[in-house]
Structures are given as structure tokens and as C-alpha cells.
Amino acid sequence: MTRDGAPGVAARGSTDITSDGQRTRHIPVLLSEVLESLAPTDGELYIDGTFGAGGYTRAILAAANCRVLALDRDITAIESAKPMCEEFADRFQLVLSPFSQLAEVAQDHSAMSVDGVVLDIGISSMQIDQPERGFSFQHDGPLDMRMSADGESAADFLNSAEEETIANVIYTYGEEHKSRSIARAIVRARTITPLSRTLELADVVSRVFHGRKIDGRHPATRTFQALRIYINDELGELAQALSAAEKILKPGGRLVVVSFHSLEDRIVKRFLTQRSGKEQRGSRHLPEQLIKSDAPSFRIINSRPLTPSKGELDLNPRARSARLRAAIRTDAPVHGLDLDDLEVPRPKS
């Protein structure tokens, strides 16, 4: 089984499937690079903001006699971690929470000064593999797409939003040039019957492209990506998690972020560029001298992002878009968060 079970859908690791169809294990992406960048050390405390199948957490706990506080917003990830919680009871805690709440969770667990934060952004293979989660356009399931159980589902959104809002979401988060035609087709379809299944939506989008593949991928790839990002506010979550990490990392603490698509990587890059004093231009909202006078709160470890080795890609070709950026916290005060200044994309409303 490949990393996501559906071409073009952004899932991180790959899930091996045995010949009898059982899921065996999830292979985390860029694992050795994550460990090298995080450098786990005995006695230290790390936060894994995207527990998933626990691949990073397990490796961190194995690399040093350290502690890990992990988060995931998906209850199924939490439930499948019970054996691991027992195995590492004295060194590991797992919390059901979106990572935008990182600082609050850290405070609740007396972890306001941590040695490392790792984020592996996106969706897991397990989430894609389960048709009932509604992320895949290759398997029929309810049009859900929520990582956590609450909030608006993709069906709720598509059946109630204005055509222009749908188009803007698909354009902004899918970078889809046919967003207006797709939104029109969705609105036309829902006036006959409300959309409720993933394959219905995939079919509506596919017809806009007359069934043609786009760059070798299913024509609904970008639309599904856009809806998933919107429904889970993935980019807003990321920006808030980065800012929370800035608050809770101690001087010398490490921030390691693995992203999968360019919208995510741009935010991480911009965040670290701004906070490491490398930004050349002034902010759109603050006078240039104010930005320049902010002391760098991070020092970037690698000027270029790390990418998977050939060996990793041979094992897991869909890791090809993964990018790792890492930085070390300085002792400068936090810069605070301005979503506009970070240029977090927002659909026009």
C-alpha cells in the first residue's frame, strides 16, 4: 500500500498491507532526519503535535530516556495508542486536542518550557484508508473530511454555501483554475439531490474535466485537497501551532516541521524567515524598523529544507513532496502572531 491509498491525496506515511489485506504498520516520513534535527536527549521533554500512528513519538522515546507529550485531534489515533500508553506509561502522555491549542495543553501538563516540538502536518494513511472518514475520492464514503468529530462536514459546507464561496475555497486551497466551473457543477448537482458521498463529488468534478486526468492525477485531487484544508482549517491551525511552539520552547529548544504541500511549506518558511531575522522586506502592517528591531527568536538549522533520500523514495514514492524545516529557539522574546503578516491564505468571502 502506498502512503495514502489515493493518488494525490496528501497523507504522510505509508501503510503496509499484508496479502490478507490487514494493515500492519505505518511508515513515518523523514524519520531519521526528524530525529537528527530534534536530537532527543536523556531527561528532556518533547512535544509531538501530530501523533498519528505514533511513529515519531516511539522513535523519540527509543532514542533517549526522555518524555513525550503528544497531541492529535483525531479520536481514532488516540484510541489506537492504548498499548503504547501502557508501554511507556511513565514517559508518555497523549492528549486529544488540535495543535493550535499546544500552549494551553502544555500549560495543563506543566510543560511550558520544552526541549523540542515536532509537527508532521497533514493527514495520515489510516485516515485516508478508512472510506468512512470521507477523505478519499477513490473509495465511496460519507462526504465528511473532518479529522476531529466536531464542526462542519464537507457535505454540510457544499450543500449550504454560496457558489462563490465554494469556488473561492477550491481556488485558494486547491490552487484549482477551474474552481468556478466546479462550484457551478456542485450547485447544479445539489439542487437535484444534496451531495452526501465522496464518489458523487468525485464524479461531479470529473465531469467538469470530461474525465481527463490532470498532471496524471484524478481530476478531483485538487478539489478534495481544498475541501480538506478548509474543513479542518489546516493552515490556520499550522500558523497557531508555530506561534505556540515559539512560546513554549526553551532557549536551545528545537522546532521541527514536516510539511507535504507548498501551501503548508510556505507558511513554515515564512514563519522561520521572519523570526530568524532573515526577512528583507517590511511587514504590510507594521513599520519596517519595528520588524527589524525584533530580535530573532529562532536560528534556522538548514537553509534549505530536507527532503527524502532516494532510499526512502524507493520504499515510499509518495514521500516525494515532504519537506522538513527545523530551527533552534533563541532566548529572544516571542514575536506574536499576525496571520496576515504570515500570509496565511484565506478564501475571499
Ligand X SMILES: C[S@@+](CC[C@H](N)C(=O)[O-])C[C@H]1O[C@@H](n2cnc3c(N)ncnc32)[C@H](O)[C@@H]1O
Rounded distance between C-alpha atoms, residue 247 and residue 348, angstroms: 30
Amino acid at 167: A
Among 147, 272, 322, 344, binds ligand X (CB under 6 A): 147
- Does residue 200 interact with ligand X by CB under 6 A? no
Question: Running DSSP on this structure, what letter comes out for residue 270?
Answer: H
- Does residue 28 interact with ligand X by CB under 6 A? yes
**Only segment of 66-74, 151-159, 300-308, 319-327 that touches ligand X (CB under 6 A):** 66-74
Minimum distance from CB of 20 to ligand X (Å)? 23
Minimum distance from CB of 151 to ligand X (Å)? 12
- For ligand X, the binding residues in 117-136 under the rule CB under 6 A are 120, 122, 124
Rounded distance between C-alpha atoms, residue 234 and residue 137, angstroms: 19
Minimum distance from CB of 230 to ligand X (Å)? 13
Site string for ligand X, 31-50 (x = CB under 6 A): -------------------x
Among 73, 146, 323, 335, binds ligand X (CB under 6 A): 73
Closer to ligand X by CB, 98 or 253: give it.
98
**Only segment of 53-61, 221-229, 298-306, 332-340 that touches ligand X (CB under 6 A):** 53-61
Q: Which residues pair with 252 in a beta bridge?
A: none
Rounded distance between C-alpha atoms, residue 275 and residue 326, angstroms: 12
Residue 294 three-state SS = coil
Among 61, 71, 143, 195, binds ligand X (CB under 6 A): 71
- Does residue 308 interact with ligand X by CB under 6 A? no
Whole-Å CA distances, 50 to 32, 136, 141, 222: 17, 20, 24, 23
Closer to ligand X by CB, 26 or 254: give it.
26
Rounded distance between C-alpha atoms, residue 114 and residue 112, angstroms: 6
**Only segment of 73-81, 162-170, 185-193, 195-203 that touches ligand X (CB under 6 A):** 73-81
Closer to ligand X by CB, 120 or 341: give it.
120
Minimum distance from CB of 30 to ligand X (Å)? 9
Rounded distance between C-alpha atoms, residue 100 and residue 239, angstroms: 8
- For ligand X, the binding residues in 202-241 under the rule CB under 6 A are 237
Rounded distance between C-alpha atoms, residue 65 and residue 192, angstroms: 60
Rounded distance between C-alpha atoms, residue 175 and residue 148, angstroms: 25
Closer to ligand X by CB, 47 or 186: give it.
47
- Does residue 77 interact with ligand X by CB under 6 A? yes
- Does residue 92 interact with ligand X by CB under 6 A? no
Question: Running DSSP on this structure, what letter comes out for residue 321?
Answer: G
Going 99 to 104 to 107 to 112, the CA torsion angle's sign is positive
Decide: 31 and 308 in contact? Cβ < 8 Å: no
List Cβ<8 Å contacts ≥24 apart for 127-130.
127/11, 127/74, 127/76, 128/4, 128/5, 128/6, 128/9, 128/11, 129/1, 129/5, 129/15, 129/23, 130/76
Minimum distance from CB of 50 to ligand X (Å)? 3
**Only segment of 72-80, 283-291, 294-302, 332-340 that touches ligand X (CB under 6 A):** 72-80
Binding site for ligand X (CB under 6 A): 12-13, 26, 28, 50, 52-56, 71-74, 77, 98-99, 120, 122, 124, 147, 237
